Structure 1
């Protein structure tokens, strides 16, 4: 099997650390964290692993402009803008906002990195974002540019190989550390991080549980979405895998108030976790996912696992617009 070729953008490998105090508090499970929040600074987080593959495809096609979408505080949009600037490309971001946004957090960094931004409503984002990006692509082509559309979160067939490669990295780190992880947990917001881990786990026969905690939508939505991403990936490797839809394991019940919205329990948990472990989670993805994971462990719903790895997918810049909600 031959994997697609990628470019090198992230600081890899990212380290794996044991969460000493949380593990002791939970009892019975050794909880580790993989610091993919340290893949870079401007490109920090999980998105850059996917962009290593999607942007390589864009460059191979001779494209000079990257178009993508996300929420106003999108980590993926910020990483795309940073990668574009680093490579001398233009970036256009279609961002969701129902009001005039404050220039802070990731949105501020988007602007600082030279991205062109088109703001659209939540309704238009839900129903028409792909068409809006296609229209923008056509407009840019008429102006003499060669644009490439990257879907939300770079979660598609080619982007999926970012976390396929990460799974290979984890396997090497297991051997170096003399440990075997029974399960790997990741937040699920667009499906491509989970999909890459799942694909490598199945193809290589690692036999690990890949567990997702959805931070929007529901388990059925993501089982369909991840299956679709996998089908796209098969075209790149000219190979398929046999899997059952119910093997895509999603923990539900922790979406809370909705995507990028928080309740007091989530914010209190982020504060407690930061003070206990010296690791800062973000409010959109990892805060909700780690909160959900620890609650499930406390309830006794995570069975048959001794060593569990949680992937920190970044997003710290998204904390700053929510600073007043913590009441510190």
Structure 2
């Protein structure tokens, strides 16, 4: 079990001091995207299939949750409190995988553009027993947090706080392992060493861990973060801070690791596909989702991976197509239909029923297949 993680094989001292619980299936495969290569005139384009990280619920959150939920368990907590947009995949992943471990979930949720995936994820949250708290907006989160903490104290319940996207130092270690995993796949000849590794970037945890893992493995690949959240919340400075907190944590646990520090300039930051903001679709975003489906049989979505793939394709064209690119598919591809089939949205708390009554965002129905953010 531990042997599945190159992090523990490389740094065995971490086994004694770093909480971890098995939730995913590792390593996730890499796919040679020949259809995208041919369509765009690229020499080398590969996809890291983290959408296959779990048959229950995959995507990038699984790697983070293996470490963050293990911390909660070790400290004796029985309920996680976290936050996200109404259709948050992080909230749903926390609920689904937490339930496997006997952990309940409280979610502080705020508004976002309506989409089919928002409706689907809200129903799945309800089915998983999530305590759904409407915060209204991001500025409303502190008040909602305080009220939930007070209510939990009255119930005699302790709440383990898990920040947005699960992007804590411990959660980011999941993607340190991913960087080391990519290096092993390169060594095994499954793909060439990428010149660029491209991922969606929202709360920084995936990109922070990836950069550290790639550096620890001695790879020269440049990390590209495609912004999917407004600049106030998603930028190279905040990314570097999380890298350095994660690096300090690893070095504290095992001084022999010698994890490096990052500077904001170490990240190739692309914000051109953000459009009007979080969860607002762009024409290039929609085209990328459709191309992935048509050319690679790959299900992406428009809030994160569509924008990141659009950024990767645009960057590849600007570079002339001669560079080797690895795109990280952070979406979940497990089918949630059996989980939510027949569930009436009127069972949801009243504030969340609005998402079934308002129109969906612009370009929603130009997407192929279900969406998810």
Give 1:130 shift.
4.6
Alignment-derived partner of residue 259 in structure 1: 278
Give 1:48 shift.
1.1
Question: Contact conserved, 2:82 with 2:107, CA < 8 A, in 1?
Answer: yes
**RMSD after superposition:** 2.8
Alignment-derived partner of residue 21 in structure 2: 7
What are the within-5 Å matches in structure 2 for residues 195-210 of structure 1? 195-210=208-223
Question: Contact conserved, 2:211 with 2:223, CA < 8 A, in 1?
Answer: yes
Question: Contact conserved, 2:45 with 2:324, CA < 8 A, in 1?
Answer: yes
Alignment-derived partner of residue 185 in structure 2: 173
| 1:80 corresponds to which of 73, 94, 97 | 94
Seen in structure 2, the aligned counterparts of structure 1 residues 74 and 196 have a Cα distance that, compared at 3 Å, is: same
Alignment-derived partner of residue 192 in structure 1: 205
Distance 1:163 1:267 in 2: 27
Give 1:317 shift.
8.3
Cα displacement string for residues 154-201 of structure 1 (whole angstroms, at most 9, x for unaligned residues) = 111111101001111111211222532222110101100000011122
Alignment-derived partner of residue 108 in structure 1: 123
Question: Contact conserved, 1:68 with 1:150, CA < 8 A, in 2?
Answer: yes
Give 1:128 shift.
4.2
Distance 2:367 2:184 in 1: 42
What are the within-5 Å matches in structure 2 for residues 67-146 of structure 1? 67-97=81-111, 104-122=119-137, 125=138, 127-130=139-142, 132-146=144-158
Give 1:69 shift.
0.8
SS of aligned partner of 2:287: helix
Give 1:269 shift.
2.9
Alignment-derived partner of residue 287 in structure 2: 268
Seen in structure 2, the aligned counterparts of structure 1 residues 130 and 177 have a Cα distance that, compared at 3 Å, is: farther
SS of aligned partner of 2:246: helix
The answer to whether the aligner puts 1:50 opposite 2:64 as a matched pair is yes
Distance 1:291 1:98 in 2: 22
Cα displacement string for residues 298-318 of structure 1 (whole angstroms, at most 9, x for unaligned residues) = 23378xx63211110014689
Alignment-derived partner of residue 284 in structure 1: 303
Distance 2:89 2:128 in 1: 13
Seen in structure 2, the aligned counterparts of structure 1 residues 266 and 128 have a Cα distance that, compared at 3 Å, is: same
| 1:218 corresponds to which of 215, 231, 238 | 231
Give 1:77 shift.
0.4
The TM-score with structure 1 as length reference comes to: 0.89
Seen in structure 2, the aligned counterparts of structure 1 residues 317 and 209 have a Cα distance that, compared at 3 Å, is: same
The answer to whether the aligner puts 1:326 opposite 2:366 as a matched pair is yes
SS of aligned partner of 2:188: helix
**Count of equivalent residues:** 323
Alignment-derived partner of residue 300 in structure 1: 319
Question: Contact conserved, 1:282 with 1:315, CA < 8 A, in 2?
Answer: no
Alignment-derived partner of residue 314 in structure 1: 331
The answer to whether the aligner puts 1:34 opposite 2:48 as a matched pair is yes
Seen in structure 2, the aligned counterparts of structure 1 residues 130 and 182 have a Cα distance that, compared at 3 Å, is: farther
Give 1:57 shift.
0.6
| 1:154 corresponds to which of 160, 166, 172 | 166
Cα displacement string for residues 280-300 of structure 1 (whole angstroms, at most 9, x for unaligned residues) = 111110001101211222233
Unaligned runs of 5+ residues in structure 1 are none
| 1:241 corresponds to which of 233, 241, 260 | 260
Unaligned runs of 5+ residues in structure 2 are 1-10, 253-257, 338-359, 369-373
The TM-score with structure 2 as length reference comes to: 0.79
Question: Contact conserved, 2:203 with 2:234, CA < 8 A, in 1?
Answer: no
Give 1:152 shift.
0.3
Distance 1:240 1:170 in 2: 17
Question: Contact conserved, 2:133 with 2:144, CA < 8 A, in 1?
Answer: no
Seen in structure 2, the aligned counterparts of structure 1 residues 100 and 270 have a Cα distance that, compared at 3 Å, is: closer
